[in-house]
Amino acid sequence: MLKKFYLETYGCKLNQSDSDLIKGILSNDFKEVSSPKEADFIIINSCGVLEKTERKIIKRIKSFRNKKIILAGCLPLISPEASIKIADGVLGPKNIPSIKEIANKVLLGEKVWQVSNKVIDKGDYCYFKKRKKGISAIVSIAEGCLGNCSFCITKKARGKLKSFSEEKILEEIQHLATSGFKEIQLTSQDAVLYGLDKGKLLLPDLLNKISKVKGDFKVRVGMMNPGYVNKILDNLVLSFKSEKIYKFIHLPLQSGDDWVLKRMNRGYCVDDFLRIASCFRKNFKDVLLATDIIVGYPEETEESFRKTLDLIEEVKPSIVHIFRFSKRKGTKAASLKDYPDRIKKKRSRELNNLCKKVNLEKNKEFLGKIFKVLVIEKRKNNTLIGRASSFRAVVLKRGEIGKYYKVKIVDFKENYLIGTITD
């Protein structure tokens, strides 16, 4: 009888993609189960960006009494001492191809530690991935980054930039399209860097080639840092003109104050962000702009925070991921004097309220407009989620997953539009 495993994933889409690979590699020799009680061993694919996430993961692992634990992901490289104490098997993001060997050793009662920063091309393992049923799939195009942000610890786990094989990426996307997937989400720590480790920023070239892949699918490009986007902006915009590319850009701003950006070592200024947003909006009728903001960074003054508020009100991004600054041991910012939680919470609350106001005002503008919408998944209350060409969420009462519909917007909420099918 096959041994059973249960897997939990924490963190970003890159981790989700790694979990798909883990499940695929194990699928022939082990059986995945939906409950930890049924499992012979448990895999935790971890994120270590925040200390509170680390505490949450450790607490979760301790709740699994008398179970064999394999800890994967970023935490083993970020907090090795804590990791080895709480797990029977430990492996880093670049050791995933060894997961079957590690699982067998752990089941025999061995303690296994396998963590390295060796360079591997996960594109070589694309056919091993086991994905959830549906029409949306994640494709990793690179791992690691070239940045050195003062607050970020992820580079310690993921290492320097490694762009995966263009040929393998295209093969994986063709395979997904042929298999009936309608939405492909490209992911990496910084998508715009694709190819730079080989000497050139190649994301526009990659998108152009993806657009030529046969099949009826849409592509969402992952997060891109503004500093490098500016270097290839014109070519990037041209590549986005393909009908297969969602008009969605995730540009993490982090702060509306250039001085704070410099102290964060972000490598761009506010004007870079504004130029990119303006360029995309001039070229496309509807662009969904997403961004990230850190509030309460130790060197963020009240004036700095006001500049961030002013910029959000000016640019009106549709999605703002708000993070309260959290110290992470091993980063430059960890040595700075932190703000009290009450100040970070106050700023977070004020920014969140502004974003709600901006979103409601912006979404009201879509009333009566017609969109071509791809239905991607079921939602609670017997409704469906669809995506317009900008990746904007549209809630529908009827429709079939994987089909396109002509939809009229009849209502809206803060985070989505509500539509009715007109044909």
Provide CATH 3.40.50.2300 ranges for the chain: 3-114
Band the pLDDT of 218: cuts 50, 70, 90: very high
Band the pLDDT of 121: cuts 50, 70, 90: low
Which DSSP category does 327 fall into? -
What is the per-residue pLDDT across 324-361, written as a single tens digit (0 to 9) for each? 999 998 899 999 999 999 999 999 999 999 999 999 99
3-state secondary structure of 143: strand
The superfamily CATH assigns to domain 122-364 is: tm_1862 like domain (3.80.30.20)
Q: Other CB atoms closer than 10 Å to residue 401's CB: what's the count?
A: 16
Residue 66 has pLDDT above 90, yes or no: no
Say how far apart CA 325 and CA 109 lie, in whole Å: 40
Res 11: pLDDT:
85
Instruction: For residues 84-102, give the mean pLDDT.
Output: 92
Residue 133 has pLDDT above 90, yes or no: no
Beta bridge partners of 384: 378, 396
Instruction: Tell me what the pLDDT averaged over the chain comes to.
Output: 93
What is the per-residue pLDDT across 240-266, written as a single tens digit (0 to 9) for each? 999 999 999 999 999 999 999 999 999
Say how far apart CA 74 and CA 14 lie, in whole Å: 11
3-state secondary structure of 249: strand
Q: Which amino acid is at 242?
A: S
Res 238: pLDDT:
98
CATH (residue range 370-421): 2.40.50.140
Fold classification of 3-114 (topology level): Rossmann fold (3.40.50)
Instruction: For residues 96-110, give the mean pLDDT.
Output: 94
Instruction: For residues 124-151, give the mean pLDDT.
Output: 85
- Both tokens of residue 185? 């989400």
Nearest to 294 by CA among 266, 316, 318, 335: 266
Res 123: pLDDT:
67
Residue 137 has pLDDT above 70, yes or no: yes
Contact 86, 62 (CB under 8 A): yes
Q: How much of the chain exceeds pLDDT 90, in percent?
A: 82
Instruction: For residues 145-149, give the mean pLDDT.
Output: 89
Say how far apart CA 50 and CA 400 lie, in whole Å: 39
Which segments of 87-202 does DSSP mark as H helices, in order? Answer: 99-107, 154-158, 166-178
- Both tokens of residue 32? 């995945």
Contact 90, 71 (CB under 8 A): yes
Instruction: For residues 68-95, give the mean pLDDT.
Output: 92
Residues contacting residue 96 through CB under 8 Å, at least 6 positions apart: 18, 21, 22, 25, 72, 122, 125
Which segments of 191-266 does DSSP mark as H helices, in order? Answer: 203-211, 226-229, 233-240, 258-264
Say how far apart CA 5 and CA 27 lie, in whole Å: 10
Instruction: For residues 266-273, give the mean pLDDT.
Output: 97
Residue 200 has pLDDT above 90, yes or no: yes
Own/partner pairs for 315-319, CB < 8 Å, 24+ apart? 315/273, 315/274, 315/277, 315/289, 316/358, 316/361, 316/362, 317/277, 317/289, 317/290, 317/291, 317/358, 318/288, 318/289, 318/290, 318/359, 318/362, 318/392, 319/250, 319/288, 319/289, 319/290, 319/291
Res 172: pLDDT:
94
Q: Residue 310 — φ and ψ, nearest 5°? A: -60, -40
Say how far apart CA 182 and CA 123 lie, in whole Å: 20
Element at 250 (helix H, strand E): strand 248-250
Phi-psi region of 170 (alpha: psi -120 to 50; beta: other; left: phi over 0): alpha
Q: How far is CA 90 from CA 48, 120, 132, 230, in A?
A: 14, 18, 25, 39
Nearest to 261 by CA among 291, 235, 222: 291
Say how far apart CA 175 and CA 59 lie, in whole Å: 39
The Cβ-side half-sphere exposure at 293, using a 13 Å CA radius, reads: 30
What is the per-residue pLDDT across 20-41, written as a single tens digit (0 to 9) for each? 999 999 999 999 999 999 999 9
Task: Give the alpha-carbon dihedral of 197, 203, 205, 209, to 10 degrees.
Answer: 110
Provide CATH 3.80.30.20 ranges for the chain: 122-364
- Both tokens of residue 266? 């972000």
- Both tokens of residue 121? 């091309």
Band the pLDDT of 154: cuts 50, 70, 90: confident
Res 345: pLDDT:
97
Contact 290, 318 (CB under 8 A): yes
For the ranges 145-149, 286-290, 389-393, 418-422, the lowest mean pLDDT is seen at: 145-149
What is the per-residue pLDDT across 376-393, written as a single tens digit (0 to 9) for each? 999 888 899 999 999 999
